[in-house]
Amino acid sequence: MSLLKIPLIFSSALGVHVSLTPPNAPPSKTEVVHGTFNEWVITQHVNYGLLVFKSVYWALSFTEIAVITSRAIDTNRLPSVIQHAVVPFLRKIEVTPITSPFLFATAVVIAGGFLRRWCFRTLGHLFTFELSVRKGHQLVKTGPYSIVRHPAYTAAALQYAGILFLHGQRASWLRDSGILERVPGLKFIALACAVERAITVISLLRRISQEEEVVKSLFGDEWKSWAKVVRYRLIPGIY
């Protein structure tokens, strides 16, 4: 049963990786919209936080996969250095079962990544993590942008909620396996990543008004007509 968890763990990590990997090269200095502290916070996340968060997430995911695998295979066939240096550590970490909360949270994380990817593909070269106005900029009104005006931010918030639930619940592998106690500094790293990501998601949501002003100034009546049809910013029928 535990082996079935491996593709789910990998899929959630892949969803996070896709969501946090810029689909295009950074915009030029002349294309970037500057001017607010909020945008400075997001820029720091893009420059430094993305790589750190993805690295930590992949490291935790591969560690859990390794813990599960160490119980399922004959480790005597592994190189001696792994048998003596790695396997004993892995076997001190508990394996946690597949639960309904785990399945739900994993599905939310993957869905967030899928929605972000859909936004990337719909906007094409226009999508940047920085607030920017690109050459030949167009108002895209298809795909997820025909449902809400800022679906990429919906996806970011959705995925972060899924990550918190997946790894923060009491029965999660991160909290229940013993790894937080056995790896020095891991509690601090996990908390720092959670706080950094929370600040970023809040900053993205705060960016919405500024972004809409920029787009409105570019497209005028076209934007107003679109906003009348696509009335909600993040959640259909709610906000």
- Of residues 30 and 116, the one with the higher pLDDT is 116
| pLDDT score for 76 | 83
Q: Is the pLDDT of residue 145 over 60?
A: yes
SS3 39: helix
Taking residue 236's Cβ as centre, other Cβ atoms within 10 Å add up to: 11
Q: Does residue 180 form part of some domain?
A: yes
Domain containing 71 equals 4-229
Query: What is the per-residue pLDDT across 154-188, written as a single tens digit (0 to 9) for each?
Result: 999 999 999 999 999 989 999 999 999 999 999 99
Q: Does residue 237 form part of some domain?
A: no
Q: How many domains, the chain?
A: 1
Look up the CATH number of the domain holding residue 99: 1.20.120
Q: Does residue 71 form part of some domain?
A: yes
| pLDDT score for 224 | 94
| pLDDT score for 1 | 53
Residue 132 pairs in a beta bridge with 32
Amino acid at 210: Q
**How confident is the model over 39-50, as a mean pLDDT?**
92
Q: Does residue 154 form part of some domain?
A: yes
The Cα–Cα gap between 144 and 202 comes to 21
Q: Does residue 197 form part of some domain?
A: yes
| pLDDT score for 73 | 86
Taking a C-beta distance cutoff of 8 angstroms, is the pair 35, 138 a contact? Answer: no
Which tokens sit at 157?
């918030």
